[in-house]
Amino acid sequence: MPAYQAAGTIARAVASVLAQTLADWELIVVDDGSSDATTAAVHAAAKGDPRVFVRRLSKNIGAAAALNIGWRSSRAELVAILDADDIALPERLAQQRKSLEGQPNISALGAAAHFVDSRGKLLRTVIQPPDHSALQRRRWYRNPFIHSTVMMRRTFLKATGGYADGLPLIYDYDLWMRGFFLGGFEYANLPEPLVLYTTQPIQRWAMVRAGARVRLRAGAREGRLLRACWAATRVLTEGAVEQTGIFSWLHRRP
């Protein structure tokens, strides 16, 4: 769980891990140089539970680098991600571990999620395609996972090198694209919503630009720049239209 200036939300996130039906876990929170009470909030929520650890960094290094510190500090063969403003539903870890134990070919497993606003109001439920072939077909246009729902094998993280430290945004999509490129890995998603994912109804333009950059990085890596440019252009166009707020306006019409 990477965390930066998360004092207002992280207690709920930690509490959701403590409430898991699966008891065999360790939670590593990487406080990425926060100046607020993030670490104190974790300790208060953990109530002395020895399974909760905090790695407090002296300066902010970015979520991707913090995630790398987290998984490299962990001991388990399965690594689950949860952002500091999201909530894992009680069966999340148990269901994903059971599924991965029964499917040794799957390297990274996501799930559906209830998207909520900052007040916890349900916006929509997002269900990702379940199988690797479907995710691979749309990989240039859609992120295969909702990041806070992912559980992956340590072997996958070691083989890919983990997250790209230099990417401030969309670092998860970059990781999945590298996995597609390397080959030998399979992805899947469970259809059940296992996380309450906090989001905004309209994407930030910085996120849209970052998504285009990741596609161009993948195109250069794979020698498919034309395909990558087309995908990046499409994402930028869709993002620009969304930024206008026209869809929100149409939704509010009587």
pLDDT, tens only, 86-136? 999 999 999 999 999 999 999 999 999 999 998 899 999 999 999 999 999
Long-range contacts of 94-103 (CB under 8 A, 24+ apart): 94/20, 94/21, 94/22, 95/190, 95/192, 95/194, 96/151, 96/190, 96/194, 97/22, 97/151, 99/188, 99/190, 100/151, 100/153, 103/188
Q: 188 pairs with which residues across the strands?
A: 109
Q: Round to whole Å and give the CA distance between 137 and 134.
A: 5
pLDDT reported for residue 205: 80
pLDDT reported for residue 249: 44
CATH superfamily of 2-199: Spore Coat Polysaccharide Biosynthesis Protein SpsA; Chain A (3.90.550.10)
Q: Round to whole Å and give the CA distance between 125 and 193.
A: 8
Buried b / exposed e over 71-96, threshold 16 CB at 10 Å, is beebeeebbbbbbbbbbbbeebbbbb
Per-domain residue ranges of the chain:
2-199, 203-254
- Using 70 as the pLDDT threshold, list the residues of the chain that sit under it: 200-203, 243-254
Q: Please give the torsion angle defined by the CA atoms of residues 31, 35, 39 and 45, in that order, rounded to the nearest 10 degrees.
A: -120
Eight-class DSSP state of 168: S
| The amino acid at 205 | W
pLDDT reported for residue 239: 77
pLDDT reported for residue 247: 46
pLDDT reported for residue 240: 79
pLDDT reported for residue 111: 98
Please state the pTM of the whole predicted model: 0.92
